[in-house]
Amino acid sequence: MTPVRAVVVMGVAGCGKSTVAALLAERLGWELLEGDGLHPAANVERMGAGSPLTDEDRAPWLDAIASWMDERRAGGRPVVVACSALRRRYRDVLRRDDVVFLHLTGSAELLAERLAVREHHFMKAGMLQSQLDLLEPPARDERHLTLDIGVPPAAVAARAASALSLST
C-alpha cells in the first residue's frame, strides 16, 4: 500500500475538522490547509446567508484544494487538509493513492451544540441538517479512518496518527 502523504480531515460542520487537522498537522510536522480558505467569495456569501452550496458551487473549490495538495506533495511535502468532502464525488476529486480520509463523526445533538457556540464563522447552525442529509460516509473501498468526536480533539488527533501509523 502506498504510504500516506496526505490526510483529508472530513465531516459535517461542527465536527472539529479545523481543530483536529491543525493538531494532526502540528503533531506530524506536515503542512496544513484549512480548505474553507479556498472557497470563492460567492460561496462564503451564499453559506453566510444560510444557503447550502450546490455541486456546481463546490467544483472550483474542490479543484483548488486538489491542486494545492498536488503541488505540495509533488515537492515532497506531506499535507493535512480540513475539508468537508461530504460526498463520494467530492472525495473523488481529492483522492490519490497516498490520500487517507479521516472522517470525524458525532451525534447530531453534539454537532448542533458545537455550532450553537461557534462565533465568527460563515457556516450557520441551521445548515447542519443539509450537511447531514448530503453526507455519504466513506465506503469500504475508500481509504479512510472514521473516528468519533466524543473525546477531546487532541485525543482524536493522537488516535488518527497512531491508527494511520503516522506517529512521530
Domains within the chain, CATH numbers bracketed: 6-163 (3.40.50.300)
Non-local (6+) Cβ contacts of 117 within 8 A are: none
**What is residue 126's predicted lDDT score, i.e. its pLDDT?**
61
pLDDT above 50 for 168 = no
pLDDT above 50 for 124 = no
Question: Burial level of 121, CB count in 10 A (0-12/13-18/19+)?
Answer: middle
Each residue's pLDDT tens digit, 1-44: 889 999 999 999 889 999 999 999 999 999 999 999 999 888 88
pLDDT above 90 for 152 = yes
pTM, to two decimals: 0.90
**What is residue 118's predicted lDDT score, i.e. its pLDDT?**
61
